[in-house]
Chain A
Amino acid sequence: MNNSKVNRIKDKAFNYFGIFCTLIGLVILAFFIGNIFYDGITRIDWDFLTALPSRKAEKAGILTAWVGSIWIVVFTFLIVVPLGIAAGIYLEEYGKKSKLSELLEVNISNLAGVPSVIYGLLGLEIFVRVLGMGNSILAGSFTLALLVLPIVIVSSREALKAVPKSIRLASFALGSSKWQTIWHQVLPASFGGILTGVILAISRAVGETAPLIVIGALAYVPFTPSSPMDEFTVLPIQIFNWISRPQHEFTVNAAAAIIVLLIITFTMNGIAVYFRNKWQKKINW
């Protein structure tokens, strides 16, 4: 056999190996989702979504959990969006090449790698104790905002970087200042990318459990929160709590709650993909 034939065969072999590797992840995910749906789908009904938690599995619902999750998402969003985008703008447009921004950059990458439970400890000390927020929605939101801040900063920077230099130069040449150029040209043009990062960050925050348990979010909350200073629970904590119980009925409840959580995160990711595609179509450099 000549050399190119051997190379052909190697090429094919690697191709199949790649397909195999890709399928492993997908098959496991499909199996997991299938299993969850099999266990939980019959449990989901209107009562399940609107009932308060209960000691009896068949009466228990996830009202406080998903309402708490929404409170957390809204406040995390409000905190992380201005902070993350402003930090991204600073690092990408203003702080370039200074010693300070190099230091910041390294540490932002480090932050992205810190285990989430450590953020919980940080939140417990700073927000719950020092700033006196207690184990409230606000403290939870700040903690999660810190956790996902690096995602927003990094994706904002990438989106800003993707705006061609020619657009900036054109704006400068017309006599606009740096801030005018960023505000009127660069930010609108990078909006799609920034939004994608924000939504991915938020959908990560929706699924977080550990840091919220550490700051003292409760598993059993008999009321829906009415202000950001109220105590709260969220879907993942409710799931965690149910799974750790011995009765089979609670496992079914957990499966049903997982389905709801999956639907929420998949929907948010779907929205992110939709906006990214829409923006890419609109702005085609």
Chain B
Amino acid sequence: MKNKLEAKNVSVFYDDFQALNNINMSFEENAVTALIGPSGCGKSTYLRLFNRMNDYIESFRLEGEILIDKKNIYNKNIIVEDLRKNIGMVFQKPNPFPKSIFENVAYGLRIQGIKNKAILRIKVRKALQQAALWDEVKNDLDKSALTLSGGQQQRLCIARTLAVEPSIVLMDEPTSALDPIATAKVEKLIYELKKEYTIIIVTHNMQQAKRISDYTAFFYMGDLIEYNKTEHIFTNPTHDRTQNYITGRFG
């Protein structure tokens, strides 16, 4: 097992409010790690640490280190734009750009300066295939992405993320706005993607965490309560709180 990411003594503050308390955790490469816990437990804050999305929150302050491939991504000499090319993110609500399907996927490549149309076409196609969307949209690449259904939009957002060839993909409740059929498609996709990507997913859906993740971390009030192999967490949790949460007694 190879560690791809690591959080070392990580605490996060919003002004005086402490959102995360001294988290230590490492993530295995090419595995799916699920972050679960009740709303407000800090799991989304934690996820957004890895691509520095919290930087846009003015009151945000971090203590400790986030290491990706052994490098602290909060070092001063890190260029955030470069970091994010390696660490993609899929959001809770599908948020395609108001552009064509093709341009949505090509955008990440274009901003890196890739102009060659043949290369763009190949990469867009590959990303759409990886996201299991190609067959549905291959004849409509010039249509607006906003004409797609919610589930298709979310897979488009995944394709857009994959197109820039990151090694890590962060997902913040990617199926919470989708119906069960679209959810199943996205889950199947995540399962496929872990062969090539390290995936961290925040989810409110216990069954989903159980179905797709290799590891599960349970957060409560900013503390990492329990972190272990998913089957262990769901069959034999060490802490009562975890037990209560996964069986639906609170949260």
The answer to whether A175 and B97 touch across the interface, beta carbons within 8 angstroms, is no
The answer to whether B161 and A174 touch across the interface, beta carbons within 8 angstroms, is yes
How far does the alpha carbon of A171 sit from the alpha carbon of B88 in the complex, in Å?
11
How far does the alpha carbon of A189 sit from the alpha carbon of B99 in the complex, in Å?
9
- B194 in the interface, Cβ–Cβ < 8 Å? no
Q: Which of A167, A173, A189, A282 contacts B89 (CB 8 A)?
A: A173
* Binary contact readout A115-138 vs B (1 if CB under 8 angstroms, 0 otherwise): 000000000000000000000000
The answer to whether B53 and A175 touch across the interface, beta carbons within 8 angstroms, is no
The answer to whether B53 and A282 touch across the interface, beta carbons within 8 angstroms, is no
- B93 in the interface, Cβ–Cβ < 8 Å? yes
How far does the alpha carbon of A282 sit from the alpha carbon of B98 in the complex, in Å?
8
Known: A175-B164, A185-B97, A283-B98. A170 touches B157 (CB 8 A): yes
Q: Which of A169, A175, A184, A188 contacts B81 (CB 8 A)?
A: A175
Closest 6 CB pairs of A and B: A175-B85, A166-B95, A174-B108, A175-B84, A173-B89, A176-B111
How far does the alpha carbon of A189 sit from the alpha carbon of B104 in the complex, in Å?
13
The answer to whether A177 and B93 touch across the interface, beta carbons within 8 angstroms, is no
- A226 in the interface, Cβ–Cβ < 8 Å? no
How far does the alpha carbon of A170 sit from the alpha carbon of B145 in the complex, in Å?
14
Interface size range on B against A: 20 to 34
Measured CB to CB, the nearest residue on chain B to A177 is: B81
List which A123-180 residues lie within 8 A (CB) of chain B. 164, 166-167, 169-177, 180
Known: A174-B107, A175-B108, A177-B81. A166 touches B93 (CB 8 A): yes
How far does the alpha carbon of A189 sit from the alpha carbon of B157 in the complex, in Å?
18
- A98 in the interface, Cβ–Cβ < 8 Å? no
B198 to chain A, nearest CB (A): 16
The CB with the most chain B CB atoms within 10 A, among A173, A188, A283, is that of A173
The answer to whether A174 and B53 touch across the interface, beta carbons within 8 angstroms, is no
With contacts A170-B157, A184-B107 known, what are 12 further pairs, Cβ within 8 A?
Answer: A166-B95, A167-B95, A171-B107, A173-B161, A174-B108, A174-B161, A175-B81, A175-B82, A175-B83, A175-B84, A177-B111, A189-B98
Q: Which residues on the A side are within 8 Å of B110 (C-beta)? A: 184
**Residues of chain A whose beta carbon lies under 8 Å from any beta carbon of chain B:** 164, 166-167, 169-177, 180, 184-185, 188-189, 282-284
How far does the alpha carbon of A164 sit from the alpha carbon of B95 in the complex, in Å?
9
A267 to chain B, nearest CB (A): 28
The CB with the most chain B CB atoms within 10 A, among A164, A166, A170, is that of A170
How far does the alpha carbon of A185 sit from the alpha carbon of B81 in the complex, in Å?
16
How far does the alpha carbon of A169 sit from the alpha carbon of B91 in the complex, in Å?
9
How far does the alpha carbon of A284 sit from the alpha carbon of B161 in the complex, in Å?
23
Q: Which residues on the A side are within 8 Å of B164 (C-beta)? A: 174-175
Known: A166-B91, A166-B95, A177-B81. A172 touches B53 (CB 8 A): yes
How far does the alpha carbon of A180 sit from the alpha carbon of B80 in the complex, in Å?
14
The CB with the most chain A CB atoms within 10 A, among B82, B95, B96, B108, is that of B95
Q: Which of B82, B84, B93, B160 contacts A172 (CB 8 A)?
A: B84
List, sorted by A's number, 18 A–B pairs whose CB atoms are closer than 8 Å.
A167-B98, A170-B91, A170-B96, A170-B97, A170-B157, A172-B84, A174-B84, A174-B88, A174-B107, A174-B111, A174-B160, A175-B82, A175-B112, A176-B108, A185-B97, A188-B99, A282-B98, A284-B146
Q: Which of B82, B84, B98 contacts A173 (CB 8 A)?
A: B84
A283 to chain B, nearest CB (A): 5
A226 to chain B, nearest CB (A): 42
Q: Which residues on the B side are within 8 Å of A166 (C-beta)? A: 91, 93, 95
